[in-house]
Amino acid sequence: GGVGLLDELAAGSAGAMTGFSHPAVLASVLRAYDGGGFVAAREVFAPWLPLANFEGQVRVGLSIRKEVLRRRGVIACG
């Protein structure tokens, strides 16, 4: 879900492939990291971390992500 994205970027990663239901947020985090480093990226990502953690639950994570995507109109059914 991208929970470790900031640490991955700090370790030299160019990005991450996640199942997070708001990929545009992750793109914003990457832009913030490129433009201002770790602290700037953390400020962008911090409000979204609770959702990323919630979506990352082992048994229900996929259902949560699919429901968020359904409510956003990205998919037709959950």
Domain-wise residue ranges, the chain: 5-71
Do 50 and 25 contact (CB within 8 A), yes or no? no
> What Å distances lie between residue 69 and 20, 29, 42, 65, 76, CA to CA?
10, 20, 24, 6, 9
The model's pTM is 0.80
As a whole number, mean pLDDT of residues 23-45 equals 96
For residue range 49-78, what is the model confidence (pLDDT) as tens digits?
999 999 888 888 889 889 988 999 999 985
